[in-house]
């Protein structure tokens, strides 16, 4: 099963995703995609480690190239926005979206379940220049591709998860 969880920053999507991953069962692997590039990033990483403490996760730090991960069971990929930035700016460049989609396909062949956390970055209506706008466009495309592929899609706001798509692939509006 593939589950996509989206929402804004600080919405509660990470906790929801962790709990969903654990509920799906099997050995749970947390694929950490955020590079510890400064004090704020290191703080955030530590907060996430504390949040998943005691939940039975094995953590794998992978900033690019998820298709070559050798994992099984249930995987939580946290998060697509970090993975995309890493692939675009220090990995696959122009091929970042396809590289990630190929990686998700590879994980789907190895894992029983995959839960992917992503961010909603385009709802503010602000247009940015250059690379930032390209990043937003790529993340939007990835989110759309993944939502189509997913068995279930959730949006989390204010700590409340709303299911947008059921297992039968129908949408709820």
pLDDT tens per residue, range 139-158: 999 999 999 999 999 999 99
Query: Are 17 and 164 a contacting pair, CB within 8 Å?
Result: no
Q: Is 60 exposed, middle or buried (0-12, 13-18, 19+ CB in 10 A)?
A: middle
pTM for the model: 0.89
DSSP character at residue 168 = T
Order of all β-strands in the sheet with 57-61: 57-61, 28-32, 74-78, 113-117, 2-7, 152-157, 160-165
pLDDT tens digits for range 25-35: 999 999 999 88
The answer to whether domain 2-165 has CATH 3.40.50.300 is: yes
Query: Are 88 and 80 a contacting pair, CB within 8 Å?
Result: no
d(CA 86, CA 65): 10
Closest listed residue to residue 63, CA positions, set 79, 74, 50: 79
d(CA 27, CA 45): 21
pLDDT tens digits for range 1-21: 999 999 988 889 999 999 999
pLDDT tens digits for range 74-113: 999 999 999 999 999 987 788 999 999 999 999 999 999 9
| C-alpha distance from residue 64 to each of 48, 60, 67, 84, 157 (Å) | 19, 12, 9, 8, 28
| Domain residue spans of the chain | 2-165
What's the pLDDT score for residue 44?
Answer: 77
Beta bridge partners of 2: 114
**Pair of tokens at residue 71:** 């994992």
Query: Are 67 and 109 a contacting pair, CB within 8 Å?
Result: no
Query: Are 109 and 2 a contacting pair, CB within 8 Å?
Result: no
């Amino acid at each position: 099963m593939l589950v996509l969880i989206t929402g804004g920053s600080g919405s509660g999507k990470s906790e929801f995703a962790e709990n969903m991953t654990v509920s799906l069962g099997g050995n749970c692997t947390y694929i950490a995609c955020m590079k510890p590039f400064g004090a704020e990033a290191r703080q955030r990483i530590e907060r996430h480690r504390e949040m998943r403490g005691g939940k039975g996760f094995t953590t794998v730090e992978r900033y690019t190239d998820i298709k070559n991960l050798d994992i099984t069971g249930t995987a939580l990929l946290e998060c697509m926005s970090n993975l995309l930035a890493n692939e675009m700016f220090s990995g696959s460049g122009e091929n970042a979206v396809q590289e990630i989609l190929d990686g998700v396909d590879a994980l789907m062949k190895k894992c029983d379940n995959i839960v992917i956390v992503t961010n909603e970055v385009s709802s503010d209506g602000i247009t940015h220049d250059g690379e930032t706008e390209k990043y937003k466009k790529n993340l939007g495309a990835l989110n759309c591709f993944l939502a189509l592929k997913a068995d279930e899609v959730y949006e989390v706001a204010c700590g409340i998860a709303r299911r947008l798509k059921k297992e039968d692939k129908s949408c709820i509006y």
